[in-house]
Structure 1
Amino acid sequence: MHTMWKGTISFGLVNIPVKMHAATENKDVKLRQLHKECQSPIKYERTCPVCDREIENDEIVKAYEYAKNKFVVLDDEELENLKKEQADKAVEIVDFVKLEEIDPIYFEKSYFLSPSEGGGKAYSLLRSALEDTGKIGIAKMIIRSKEQLAVIRIYQNTLVVETIHFPDEVRNVQDVPNVPEEADTPKKELDTAKMLIDQLTTTFDPEKYKDEYRSALLDLIEEKKNQEEVTTAKDKPKPEKATNLMDALQASLDRTQENEQKKTKEKSKKKPEPKTKTSTQKKKTAK
């Protein structure tokens, strides 16, 4: 399992060297976008609208937009120094609480923790202490250059870090539109709803639930592939390159001469022919 982060978890005077691994994975079926005409993948480029050209990675800087089109630019060294200041701090468990005291809206992403070399005994100590007390730890840590509030708890026999949102990251529920006020619900309707809930109540079994859309989509893709309903992207046409500078200059000169010859021929075709004199005009000229 890939190690995403290495550090130290501490509570009191106990330090636990640990490694962090992603506990979940996104299994969404990723679809590419193709050009309908030639079945080639669409390319997205980073361009500057002012300079009207594609921008390379080394030309890009990070900035914070504090007002419309007004920015504070932050260079890589400043950001790296800030990151090091926080990364050097051990992940300290500051509080212990009960899991049920935290509303699920705060939970974000899960990571498994494994002990680093020499950390097995302290790892087992924290695991046993959490299990016996029924508590979870609240800690702060840096993940991917961002400070995270986190929960440290047990999942089966493994310590898990569960990142949680800071309070100011959870939007005010009062801003949700069209939420009805509490109303008197007819007893008969309420009793029927409770009866339905009782009938559907069971023990949670995660294996029971499947992503039916993803399975159907994968089946459809496999079926079309087996029936050879497939396409291959065309190679990008490469422009013919002149072998050297003299060839390029000669080609340009030849093209220019050809264009001039065409223009001359077109002008000669358009020149009006001289009118022939009538017999009357000839007699007048003779007199």
Structure 2
Amino acid sequence: MATRPSWRGHIKLSLVTCPVALYNAISPAGDVHFHLINPDTKHRVKSVVIDAATDEILERKDLLKGFEFAKGKYVTLTKEEIDAVRLESTKTIDIDKFVPAGDIDRLYWDNPYFLVPDGKLAAEPFAVIRAAMEESGQVALGRLVMSQRERLVALEPRGKGIIATTLRSHDEVRDMKDFFGEIPAVRTDKEMVEVAGKIMSQKHAKFDPTTFEDRYEDALRDLIKRKRKGQNVIETDEPESEESNVIDLMEALQASLKKKKSAAKTAKTKAAPKKRAAASGAKRTSRKTARK
């Protein structure tokens, strides 16, 4: 494989165990990354670790990790002490339950990974576990330790492999009541809801991630391209004026509906001449063929 696995270990279903490798399903290759540069020398800048009290420059390898239990007071731990805390799931994804996918709130889904058999001998037990999961029609839940942290992981059969998605813990997800609780209760107008529904139906489409483009990333790449050519002028567009204080909500909904219909009609009108031209061309071709 082109990339290194994020984790290596075993997947275990009761007494069936199989060596597996976990690969990150998300590639950062499309992101634009920057380094800090000294504007005078154009050299890359290095980060330096400094003692907050003495300003002494320190080596990272000599540092300890500390937990602040009171203001300015820490319990320090060495790497060896942290590594000594080993959990049973450190190198094993132990499947302990199956749940319907719909039971897992989308707020808890985190990062996806590809789970594959690690080695030729692992292919058969991996296929057995994957097939059993597929027949169950449910999501398998297990635990694994990545980056010295235990995570709950959801396993789903996909193709010939398994998608493993880490799940956020309950403490990580904020209570929506803290944010939605202050939203006032509003009695909606039935006609307005119907108009909004029509607007939504006009925008109905199938999900296609290939159509999404990160315009900010594209703009950054264009800026970098122009800078490499020696163009130092930064062009800025005038910000579009945003309409605020909508007086009549129904009027805005109706206008949105008419705008969408008008756009569809215009597109249809533009397409019509092309169709007529194509039909006309086909007729001319058929006449020539007939004469021949």
Structure 2 Cα separation of the partners of residues 18 and 171 of structure 1: 33
- Structure 2: distance between partners of 1:88 and 1:37: 48
Contact 2:11–2:18 (CA<8 Å) still a contact in 1?
A: yes
**Structure 2: which amino acid aligns with 1:164?**
L
* Cross-structure match for 1:95: 97
Do the aligned partners of residues 164 and 196 (structure 1) sit closer, same or farther apart at CA in structure 2, a change above 3 Å counting? Answer: same
Distance 1:157 1:107 in 2: 22
Q: Which residue of 2 aligns with 1:170?
A: 173
> Which residue is equivalent to 1:110?
112
Q: Does 1:53 align with 2:56?
A: yes
Deviation at 1:89, TM superposition (A): 5.5
Rate the CA distance shift 1:220–1:89 in 2: closer, same or farther, 3 A. Answer: closer
Largest Rg, 1 or 2: 1
TM-score by structure 2 length?
0.71
Match of 2:84, SS state, is: helix
Equivalent of 2:138 in 135, 138, 149: 135
Q: Quote the offset at 1:116 in angstroms.
A: 1.7
- Measured in 1, the distance between the counterparts of 2:207 and 2:182 equals 29
1:149 aligns with 2:121: no
The CA deviation at 1:87 is 5.2
> How many residues get paired?
228
Stretches of structure 2 that go unaligned for 5 or more consecutive residues are 233-292
How big is the shift at 1:39?
Answer: 4.2
Tell whether 2:186 aligns with 1:183.
yes
8 Å Cα contact 2:38/2:45 also seen in 1: yes
| Residues 1:9 and 1:73: Cα distance change in structure 2 (over 3 Å) | same
How does 1:1-287 map onto structure 2 within 5 Å? 1-26=3-28, 27-82=30-85, 84-86=86-88, 90-117=92-119, 118-176=121-179, 179-227=182-230
1:37 positional shift? 4.9
Poorly superposed stretches of 4+, deviation over 6 Å: none
| Whole-angstrom CA distance in 1 between matches of 2:49 and 2:176 | 37
Whole-Å Cα distance in 1 between the matches of residues 12 and 181 of structure 2? 46
User: Residue 86 of structure 1 contacts residue 142 of structure 1 at CA under 8 Å; is this kept in 2?
Assistant: no
> Deviations for 1:196-224, whole angstroms, at most 9, x for unmatched residues?
22221222112121212212211221122
Give the unaligned 5+ runs of structure 1.
Answer: 230-287
CA contact (8 A) 2:143 2:151 kept: yes
